[in-house]
Structure 1
Amino acid sequence: MVRLLDLGLYALTLGIIGVDSKPCKPRDGPRTYEAEDALLSGTTVDNAVPGYTGTGYVTGFDQGSDKVTFTITSDTARLYDLSIRAAAIYGEKRTSVVLNNGASSEVYFPASDGFNAIPAGQVLLNAGSNTIAIVNNWGWYLIDSITLTPSAKRPKHTNINTSLIGPSTSAVTQKLYDYLRSIYGKKILSGQQDLSWANWIQQQIGKTPALVSVDLMDYSPSRVERGTVGTAVEEAINHHNRGGIVSVLWHWNAPVGLYDTEENKWWSGFYTRATDFDVELALRDTTNANYTLLVRDIDAIAVQLKRLQAAGVPVLWRPLHEAEGGWFWWGAKGPEPAKKLWDLVYQRLAVHHGLDNLIWVWNSVLPQWYPGDEKVDILSADIYAQGNGPMSTQYNELIELGKDTKLIAAAEVGAAPLPDLLQAYEAHWLWFAVWGDTFINNAEWNSVQTLRTIYNSDYVLTLDEIQGWRG
C-alpha cells in the first residue's frame, strides 16, 4: 500500500448528480453510448484527436471531481461487461468508474497513440435508471464512448493447479493450499493487515479475521542498522497458533542509497522517490557490490521465514508487491528487472535456503510483468477503491492473466468487499485483507455497520469458521 497519498489517486469527489440528457436502454447484444451525449462535469467535448466515433470525445479530466456521467435505463436487474473506448495519449493512466453513486472501481488505461476499447470489469444495472460515471483519478485521458454487453455466466474453476511451484513443500503448507482450493469460488476468507487491527475488528464486531497479513519491513538490513526491531514474526506465529492463516509481504527498504532527507526519510526507503538504488544495474552481473547487497537482504529475510517454518507456519508469501506501479524501487526500471529479481528471490529462498513453507503470491495484473505460471502459485492485486464494491475489473484481468488456472486474491484493499456484490458479480476472490490505520478504522472506507454486514455473512469465513483447515 503506502503510495496512495503520494499519487493522490482518490483526491476526488464521487458524488453523482443530475441525469443524462439521453438515457438509453441496453439491448440483449452490445450497446454503445457516446461520451459527448452524456452529462459533463468539469469536462468538455472536443474533436481534435482523430479516430473517435460519433461527433467527438470528452476531454478535460484534470481536476479531482471532473467526470462524465452516462444514464442508462434497464427493464430488469442484469450484469453487463463494461468496455471504455479511451485514448491515453499522455502515457498510462487510471480512471475511476462509479456505478449509481456507490462503489468505485479503478481501471487501467495503457499508453496509446489513439482510441482503444479497454475492458473495465462489470456493472450490475438495477431495473430502472442507472448512472455510470467515469471520474478523473489520474486524469489526462480522452473518453470516446462506453459499451455494455450482457455478461456470460462464469464457468466453474476446474483447472486450478493442484501442486505448488516450490522444489519441496511441507505437509502443512500443502494442506493449506488444498484447503484454499476447496473454498475457492464458494467462500471468501476475511483478512486484515496487522494483528493489532485484526484484534480491533474482534473488539468492534465480535468476529476475528481468518487471515492476518504481516510485513517484514523492519527486518530489512538498511532499517535494522538504524535501530528497527521487527515483531511481525511473533505476530504471525500468534495468529497461526489460534488457528489462523498468515500472509506475509515485505516493504523492502533499499539495500543502499537512501536519501534520508527531510522529504524522504530513511524509513521510506522502499519508495522509488527515496533512494537512488538501481535494480537494473544491480542485476546485470553477480559480482557487483549491489547484487551482493540484494543477496544479503534476501538472506536476512530467509532467517525470519525459517523462524516461521520452524514454528510450522505456512506462509502466503507476497514479495515485490505492486511492482507494476513503479512507486517502489523494485518496479522502477520496468518489468524485466522486476521479473529477474523475482527469480533471484525465489532461487535464494526456495532453492538455496530450502524453505518449504512458502506459497508464492504474485501481485500485479499487467501481462508484461508476469513471471509465468511455473513461477507463481497464486495471483493477486492490491486495490484501493471506495464503496465496498466487488473489484471485478481486476478480478477479470487476473482470470485472463492466469487463464483460470490460478487462485486469485485481493491481497490488499482499502474497502472490504460486500459479499452480496461479490456473489452477484461472480468475483470469486479467495481472500481480502484491508489495510490498517486510516482505512479499516475510517468510516469513509469501512463503516462499522458495513464491517458487521461483511463479517456476519455466510459467504465470509472468519477465524472461528476455519479451525479445521489443518485437519
Structure 2
Amino acid sequence: MNLYKISLLVAVFFMLNSYAYSQLVDPLATRQTRNLYRHLLSMNKKEMMIGHQDDLAYGVGWKYEKDRSDIKDLTGNYPSVFGWDVAGIENQDKLNLDGIPFEKMKAFIVKAYDMGAVNTLSWHMPNPVSGKNAWDTTSGALSSLLPGNKNHKLYRRWLDRFAAFSSSLRGTDGQAIPILFRPLHEHSGGWFWWGAKSCSPQEYKTLWMFTVNYLRKTRKLHNLIYVFNPCDFDNQEQYLERYPGDDFVDVLSFDAYQYGGIGKNDFFKADLSKKLAIQARIAESRNKPAALAETGFVEIPDPNWWTDTFAPAVQSDIPAYVLFWRNAGYRPIEKDNHYYAPYPGQQSAQDFIRFLNHKMIIMQPQAQSKRLYE
C-alpha cells in the first residue's frame, strides 16, 4: 500500500472519530469525556445502563455504610450509573438538599468512576428571587438571572461554585471525571421556578445557552456532557419547544414516573413507550444519545412490575441509560416510605433480578468491561 492510500485511510479514520466527537457541545472535551459520549451513542436502542440516585450514600434502613448499596445488597452488583444532586453548592453549604455532605458525595463520585461506572448531576437550585427552594414558583425568577438583569451576577456566582466543585472531581488516575450534567430539569412541568408556567421558551433557551457557554468557555470545564430534560410532552413539537439547539445539547432525556397505583400499569407502559419512541426519533435525527433520566414507581407495590410493565415499555426504543430515583426509606416529616429500587425482602425483589438478566442490561461489571472512558 502506497503512502497516499495510508494517508487517506488515516484521514478517514480521524474524520469518522471526529464526527462522533463533534456531536459534543464542548469541542475541547477531555479524552475520557469524548470516549464516554462515543459509548453512549453506540448504546442507543441496543443496551441500557441501570442507574440509581444516591445509591452509595443511603438506602432503606441504612446510611453511609462503606461499600453498601440497596441494589448491590439484592443483586450482588452495583448499578452502572450513579445520580447525585448538587443543590446547596450555590450557597457553599456543607450538605446538599438531601443531607449528603459534599465531601462524601465527591468520594462517592470518585468511587463510581474508578469502578468504570458513570456519574450524573442534577441541580435543584433555590429560587433566586424568594430564596426558597426549587419548588417555589415566585414569578420572574428565571428572567432575573439573564444577562443584564437583577440576579445575573448572583447566577454567575452560583455557576462559579458549581464549576469549582466539578473541576475538583478527579479519579485516582488523576483525570477529570466526566459528568452527565442535567441542569434546569423537568422544564416542561410547572413545579419548578424554571418550568413552563414560570418563564417563556425563549427565556429558558437563553439561560440554558448562557449556562453552557459560561461553564465551557469562561470556567473552562471540559468534563461535562449536557443533558436536556423535559417531562410532559405528547409529540416532537412539545418535546422541542424549549430546545436550545444541537450546539448546546449533548444527550436527550426525559423524566417519567408511574402514579396512581397498580391500576395505572397499562397506562404507564403505553405512555412511557410512546414518549421513548418520540425521543428516539428526535435523537436519531440529531445523532445524539437518548436517556430516561428519572423514573420509577414509589414503593413498587406490584411484585411483577419490572418484567410485566417496565421492561415491555422500554424494549422497542431502549434508552442508553435509565435512572431510578432514590431510596430514602421512611420519611418522618412526610410520614411515608420513599424508595424506587427494590432491596432484599421487598416484594418486587425477585422480579427485579429477572429484569436485570435481560441481555440489554448493563450493570457496573459490564460497564467496567466496556472501558467507557478509553
Q: Which residue among 60, 71, 89 is the counterpart of 1:219?
A: 89
Match of residue 344 from structure 1: 210
Match of residue 186 from structure 2: 322
- Correspondence 1:414 to 2:296: yes
Q: How far apart in 2 are the matches of 1:161 and 1:442?
A: 36
Q: How far apart in 2 are the matches of 1:385 and 1:271?
A: 20
Q: Report if the CA contact (8 A) 1:249-1:318 is conserved.
A: yes
Q: Report if the CA contact (8 A) 1:221-1:255 is conserved.
A: no
- Correspondence 1:307 to 2:168: yes
- Correspondence 1:203 to 2:104: no
Q: How far apart in 2 are the matches of 1:340 and 1:234?
A: 34
* Superposed counterparts of 1:100-139, under 5 Å: none
Q: Report if the CA contact (8 A) 2:216-2:222 is conserved.
A: yes
Unaligned runs of at least 5 residues, structure 1: 1-159, 259-265
What residue identity is the alignment partner of 1:253? P
Q: How far apart in 2 are the matches of 1:321 and 1:301?
A: 16
Q: 1:172 to 1:417 in 2, by over 3 A?
A: farther
Q: How far apart in 1 are the matches of 2:92 and 2:39?
A: 37
Q: How far apart in 1 are the matches of 2:215 and 2:255?
A: 24
Q: 1:357 to 1:397 in 2, by over 3 A?
A: same
Classify the secondary structure of the residue corresponding to 2:168.
helix
Q: 1:272 to 1:336 in 2, by over 3 A?
A: farther
Shift of 1:465: 0.9
Match of residue 91 from structure 1: none
Match of residue 38 from structure 2: 178
Q: Which residue among 344, 352, 368 is the counterpart of 1:451?
A: 352
* Superposed counterparts of 1:43-62, under 5 Å: none
What residue identity is the alignment partner of 1:293? L
* Superposed counterparts of 1:21-60, under 5 Å: none
What residue identity is the alignment partner of 1:279? L
* Superposed counterparts of 1:437-448, under 5 Å: 437=327, 438-441=338-341, 447-448=348-349
Match of residue 99 from structure 1: none
Q: 1:235 to 1:276 in 2, by over 3 A?
A: farther
Classify the secondary structure of the residue corresponding to 2:194.
helix
What residue identity is the alignment partner of 2:340? I
Match of residue 335 from structure 2: none
Q: 1:327 to 1:224 in 2, by over 3 A?
A: farther
Q: How far apart in 2 are the matches of 1:312 and 1:302?
A: 12
Q: 1:399 to 1:298 in 2, by over 3 A?
A: same
Match of residue 395 from structure 1: 276
Q: Report if the CA contact (8 A) 1:257-1:277 is conserved.
A: no
Q: Report if the CA contact (8 A) 1:165-1:376 is conserved.
A: yes
Structure having the larger proportion of residues in strand:
1
Q: 1:311 to 1:326 in 2, by over 3 A?
A: farther
Classify the secondary structure of the residue corresponding to 1:248.
strand
Count of equivalent residues: 298
Q: Deviation per CA, 1:147-195, whole angstroms, max 9, x where unpaired?
A: xxxxxxxxxxxxx955311131101111111122222222110111113
Q: How far apart in 1 are the matches of 2:111 and 2:347?
A: 26
Q: Report if the CA contact (8 A) 1:363-1:382 is conserved.
A: yes
- Correspondence 1:465 to 2:366: yes
Shift of 1:232: 2.7
Identity of matched residues, %? 26
Q: Report if the CA contact (8 A) 1:188-1:428 is conserved.
A: yes
Q: How far apart in 2 are the matches of 1:190 and 1:312?
A: 23
Of structures 1 and 2, the one scoring higher in RCO (CA 8 A, sep 6+) is: 2
Classify the secondary structure of the residue corresponding to 1:406.
coil
- Correspondence 1:248 to 2:121: yes
What residue identity is the alignment partner of 2:224? L
Q: Report if the CA contact (8 A) 1:201-1:208 is conserved.
A: yes
What residue identity is the alignment partner of 2:373? R
Unaligned runs of at least 5 residues, structure 2: 1-18, 60-67, 234-238, 260-264, 298-304, 328-337
What residue identity is the alignment partner of 2:325? W
Instruction: Give the superposed CA RMSD.
Output: 2.9
Q: 1:202 to 1:454 in 2, by over 3 A?
A: same
Q: Report if the CA contact (8 A) 2:254-2:294 is conserved.
A: yes
Classify the secondary structure of the residue corresponding to 1:220.
helix
Q: How far apart in 1 are the matches of 2:51 and 2:96?
A: 31
What residue identity is the alignment partner of 1:314? P
Q: How far apart in 2 are the matches of 1:272 and 1:292?
A: 21
